């Protein structure tokens, strides 16, 4: 699971959960893959992302060192930052770990790169 996917995932489908975002991430095994840098792709996708959710996800896996606290206004011209965002969003792959609902503390395991967000009918 990439951090870009994490940025869109929510546990709002759980019973009595209104927000369910962002899910708390923890990782036991991470892989880094080479994904070709596509400037237009990253420039278009950043406005769709929640920066603070990305920042907290990066902190939880100790990858936030080169990421500012908030997205600077001139981010679109900052090539270094774009490359770092590309690395964080596209290249890091969470192989084993957990996602946790911020409201109910329910845990969703990530195994072999695939998070399991299935729940029983009565929990929806």
Partner 1 sequence: MSLNSAEVETEYVHSIYSRLATYQQKDTKSSSPRIWPRVKQFVDQQSTGSVILDVGCGEAKYTSTKSHVIGFDTCPEVLAASQKDHIDLALADAISIPVKDESVDAVLNVSVIHHLSTTQRRKMVLQECSRCLRIGGQMLIYVWAFEQPNGKFASQDILVPWNMHETAIGGRLPKIKFHMNTTKEQRIIAASIPICISDPTTSNRWFSGVLNKMVEQFQFPYFSKKSTAPESNNNINKNEKNSNSKLPSAVPQFLPTTNSIISGIKRWSPMLGKRLASLLVPVEEQYGEELANNIMRESITEAMATLREVTFYRYYHVFKENELNNLVDSIPELRVISTTFEHGNWCVIAEKIPENIIRA
Residues 2-41 touching partner 1, rule: CB under 8 A, are 2, 4-5, 8-13, 21, 33, 35-36, 38, 40-41
Which residue among 32, 79, 118, 122 contacts partner 1 (CB under 8 A)?
118
Q: Which residues make Cβ contacts (< 8 Å) with residue 65, sequence separation at least 6?
A: none
Cα separation, 120 vs 122, whole angstroms:
6
* Cα–Cα distance for residue pair 17/103, rounded to 1 Å: 7
Beta-carbon contacts of residue 40 (< 8 Å; ≥ 6 apart): none
Candidates 55-63, 64-72, 74-82, 116-124: pick the segment binding partner 1 (CB under 8 A): 116-124
Q: Does 48 bind partner 1 (CB under 8 A)?
A: yes
Nearer to partner 1, 26 or 65 (CB): 26
């Amino acid at each position: 699971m990439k951090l870009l996917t994490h940025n869109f995932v929510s546990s709002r489908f759980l019973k009595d959960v209104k927000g369910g975002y962002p899910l708390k991430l923890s990782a036991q095994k991470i892989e880094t893959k080479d994904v070709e840098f596509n400037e237009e792709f990253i420039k278009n996708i950043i406005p769709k992302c929640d920066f603070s959710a990305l920042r907290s996800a990066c902190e939880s896996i100790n990858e936030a060192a080169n990421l500012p606290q908030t997205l600077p206004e001139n981010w679109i011209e900052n090539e270094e930052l774009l490359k770092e965002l590309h690395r964080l969003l596209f290249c890091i792959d969470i192989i084993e770990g957990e996602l946790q609902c911020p409201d109910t503390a329910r845990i969703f395991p990530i195994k072999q790169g695939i998070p399991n967000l299935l729940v029983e009918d009565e929990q929806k």
